[in-house]
Amino acid sequence: MALTHSRPSDTERSAPGSEPHVVRGSEDPRTPRAARGLRSLRAARFNERLAPYLFLLPWLIGFFVITLGPMLYSLYLSFTNFSMLAPPEWVGIDNYIKMFTNDPKYLESVRVTLVYVFVSVPLQLAFALMLAMVLNRGLRGLPIYRSIYYLPSLIGGSVAIAVLWRQMFGHNGLINQILDVFGIEAQSWIGNPNTALGTLIILNVWTFGSPMVIFLAALRQIPQELYEAGAVDGVNKRQQFLHITLPMLTPIVLFNLILQLIGAFQAFTPAFVVSGGTGGPVNSTLFYTLYLYQRGFTSFQMGYASAMAWVLFVGIAVVTVINFWFSKYWVHYDD
Amino acid sequence: MSWWGSDARHEVTNEVLDLFEEKNPGITVVRDFGGFDGYLDKITTQYTGGNSPDVVQLYNEVLREFASRGQTADLNTAIEGGELSLDGWPDDLVETNTIDGQLSALPFGLSTHAFIFDEARSAELGVEVPAEDYSWDDLKEYATAISTASGGALYGVTDLSHSYQVFEVWAKQNKEEFLTAEGIGFTADTLVDYWDYWADMRAAKAATPPDVTSEYASPYDAVIQGTAASTFLFANQYAGVVSNSGNPLALLRMPGEAKNPGQYLRTAMNLLVSSQSKHPAEAALLVNFLLNDPEANAILGIERGVPANGNVVKAATENVDENNAKAIALIESVREHGAAAPVPAPTGSGTVNTLFTEFAQQVQFGSLSSKDAADQFIAQAKSELG
């Protein structure tokens, strides 16, 4: 049963020809409808804008609560004296001052880390590129070789591999048994301050798998026409590599370089395991992160450790920015 | 309750905790146990987050770090409340663990320093293992003889110049201390003598060379693996080392003990009640059970060392095998004739111990003389101890 007093619906009222068109005004019966339409449109737009954030919410909560919050808290802690067992005491920039003026061990750890980063990363990338070139020749069973070479980079950062390294480079280890065959006198590679860091550098170079796989993909992307054109001009292998392959790869080299640099700055496990957590012998494997850990958990100086962490953060950022800035001089983008 | 240890320790501890729950219906003990690696990090982090275990097993080197910051409940409260008894406890042990007037923790097993000698290899090489009252010079003689007789294939002893625990005994034999509550307790000369002693040992090829020394996390690993014929360990580790070595090992006190003993009953580890505990009375009951109950100690045995409470030593040591009996005899000989235990190490001692090792290594590798290293170490240690 129809309600006699019900308001005629908008559609009825605005049906064409149902009533003469009047000048827009306050009595214009269309106004409320227009406003309503606008409102619902706004709501729809708002929903449309909100939806992605709703989907992002789990990650956002994770970022603000689990990442950003603690990071800002550690920034605050870096200006305090915090033993973890008593409330933090504000000391201003004392931690930062001590680091650079009154802590020889800190400077030693910076030195060790820089040597590790700037020796092992270029070597690792060179190795990765070399093997990628070899594998790119299209030999049979390529996927198998690729997997085998990739394997170390999956497990290279693990405790198990670091333990293996201890065994291999010890004075009774595999390396010495091999050298013994050639009549080279045995010594403990991990127990000697002059060679201990070298074994860790070799360990990092050995994890060349992930940059290698990326290089391999990039090599496949280089247009064959370039090589054909080169062949017509009669370039030799070396020129081919220097003037075609390498320039075409530079963006990928930059990508790998930045990724591996960041990783190497943060290396911890190999040094921790190989030196038994000491960074020894005589601090020769005292990575920055290892010293940070010692300050935080052995000396109960979490404030100082936080300050160290922030200096590392800024240090990595600076190195990355410099890399990007320099990249315009050597990276060639194909556009 | 939290503790670290090996599977053998977990087994007996869990068994004792089951017994405790059986005897105290209404109390459930939540157990958190694992290896030693990362244990301190875990406990410290739990403390920071305000959810520390009620009862914590903690080692002596860091006890003061926790106690001086008010993180350990005063056990005197539990004694007054009747949950804990000190009947049968030596006064000096209670004394050493009293920090800022509060009884911060109680020793959960006592041990002491010892020396092991590989009898089988010594016999093969025709070198006699030193007798009971041997001196540091006798050790040098023995070690040199081993290295000479084996043509360098076996070192006489592991270099111990980087071990602050051995140096501590050396200092006490010289009527000094390694660390006191105030800071450094020894003179530079004593340390120089110690490092020079080992430098002579290395020069004579009697002790392991530095690169080999720094490979072993624990010196006794070098004896187990047949790299060295003798080294230092703690008495409660003896039985385990013998079973891993497979060779018969002689167990003696430290060299130089005959004249003026420097060994003492060393707290292998402590048991404390956290000041954050919401159930301090129940926690104290558990501590009391673990430390003073004969039945509990019969199960625990001497895996953590000999009980500090004289009344339960018998229960703990009744059914031990031959090797453990040797270790107990050695610990008891120190109880009879030994030095007083040092106070718990001052705050910052963890860093100082690390520094000791570092400077000793620089002497080992020849980058510093004993004299320079000692002076630099003392200067840096003083600044760390504030």
Task: Transcribe B39-104 into DSSP letters.
Answer: HHHHHHHHHHTT---SEEEE-HHHHHHHHTTT-B--HHHHHHHTS---TT--HHHHHHTEETTEE-
* Tokens at A328, concatenated: 């315009």
Residue B163 CA, chain-centre distance (Å), reads: 12
Q: Report CA-CA distances (Å) from B323 to A150, B237, B267.
A: 50, 10, 20
Q: Report CB contact under 8 Å: A281, B214.
A: yes
Contact of B351 with chain A, judged by CB distance below 8 Å, is answered with yes
The secondary element (H helix, E strand) that includes residue A81 is strand A80-81
Residue tagged 């409808």 (tokens)? A33
* Tokens at B366, concatenated: 């020849």
Q: Report CB contact under 8 Å: A282, B365.
A: yes
Residue tagged 């007037």 (tokens)? B101
Q: Report CB contact under 8 Å: B48, A85.
A: yes
Q: How far off is chain A from B330, nearest CA to CA, in Å?
A: 30
pLDDT score recorded for residue A19: 46
pLDDT score recorded for residue A48: 79
Q: Report CB contact under 8 Å: B214, A294.
A: no
Closest CA to B163 of B117, B231, B96: B231
Residues 6+ apart with CB under 8 A from B112: B234, B235, B263, B264, B265, B266, B330, B331, B334, B338
Residues of chain A with C-beta less than 8 angstroms from the C-beta of B350 = 298-300
Contact of B361 with chain A, judged by CB distance below 8 Å, is answered with yes
Contact of A298 with chain B, judged by CB distance below 8 Å, is answered with yes
What is the Cα–Cα distance from B42 to B59, expressed in whole angstroms? 14
pLDDT score recorded for residue B70: 93
Question: Which of residues 167 through 186 in chain A touch B, CB cutoff 8 A?
Answer: 170-172
What is the Cα–Cα distance from B139 to B206, expressed in whole angstroms? 10
Determine how β-strand B2-4 pairs with β-strand B32-34.
parallel
Mutation for testing the B interface, residue in A194, A282, A283 having most B CBs under 10 Å: A282
Contact of A88 with chain B, judged by CB distance below 8 Å, is answered with no
What is the Cα–Cα distance from B90 to B102, expressed in whole angstroms? 17
Q: Which residues of chain B have pLDDT under 70?
A: none
Residues of chain A with C-beta less than 8 angstroms from the C-beta of B227 = 172
Cβ–Cβ contacts within 10 Å for residue A331, how many?
18
* CA distance from start to end of chain B: 33
* Tokens at B249, concatenated: 């090992």
* Tokens at B327, concatenated: 């270790």
What is the Cα–Cα distance from A182 to A155, expressed in whole angstroms? 31
* Tokens at A141, concatenated: 């069973």
Cβ–Cβ contacts within 10 Å for residue B232, how many?
20
pLDDT tens string A145-192:
888 888 888 887 788 888 888 888 888 888 888 888 887 777 888 888
Closest CA to B102 of B348, B275, B265, B282: B275
What is the Cα–Cα distance from B179 to B385, expressed in whole angstroms? 10
Residues 6+ apart with CB under 8 A from A296: A84, A302, A304, A305, A306
* Tokens at A305, concatenated: 């450790």
A293 close to A272: Cβ distance less than 8 angstroms: yes
Residues of chain B with C-beta less than 8 angstroms from the C-beta of A84 = 44-45, 47-48
B72 close to B104: Cβ distance less than 8 angstroms: yes
Q: Report CA-CA distances (Å) from B98 to B91, B95, B107.
A: 11, 5, 12
What is the Cα–Cα distance from A297 to B40, expressed in whole angstroms? 8
DSSP B291-338: HH-HHHHHHHTTTT-B-SSGGGHHHHHTT--HHHHHHHHHHHHHHHS-
What is the Cα–Cα distance from B265 to B277, expressed in whole angstroms? 30
Q: Which amino acid is at B294?
A: P
Mutation for testing the A interface, residue in B39, B59, B215 having most A CBs under 10 Å: B215
- Would you call B26 helix, strand, or coil by DSSP? coil
Q: Which residues of chain A have pLDDT under 70?
A: 1-39, 334-335
B331 close to B337: Cβ distance less than 8 angstroms: no
pLDDT score recorded for residue A15: 44
Given strand B270-273, what is the order of strands in its sheet? B32-34, B2-4, B55-58, B270-273, B106-107
Mutation for testing the B interface, residue in A300, A301, A306 having most B CBs under 10 Å: A300
What is the Cα–Cα distance from B244 to B270, expressed in whole angstroms? 27
Contacts 24+ apart (CB under 8 A), A218-221: A218/A248, A218/A249, A218/A252, A219/A132, A219/A133, A219/A136, A219/A245, A219/A249, A220/A136, A221/A248
Contact of B92 with chain A, judged by CB distance below 8 Å, is answered with no
Q: Report CB contact under 8 Å: A282, B40.
A: no
pLDDT tens string A284-298:
999 999 999 999 998
Q: Report CB contact under 8 Å: B350, A299.
A: yes
Q: How far off is chain A from B305, nearest CA to CA, in Å?
A: 25
The secondary element (H helix, E strand) that includes residue A89 is strand A89-90
Out of B212, B217, B361, the one facing A276 most closely (by C-beta) is: B217
Q: Report CB contact under 8 Å: A283, B45.
A: no
Residues of chain A with C-beta less than 8 angstroms from the C-beta of B217 = 276
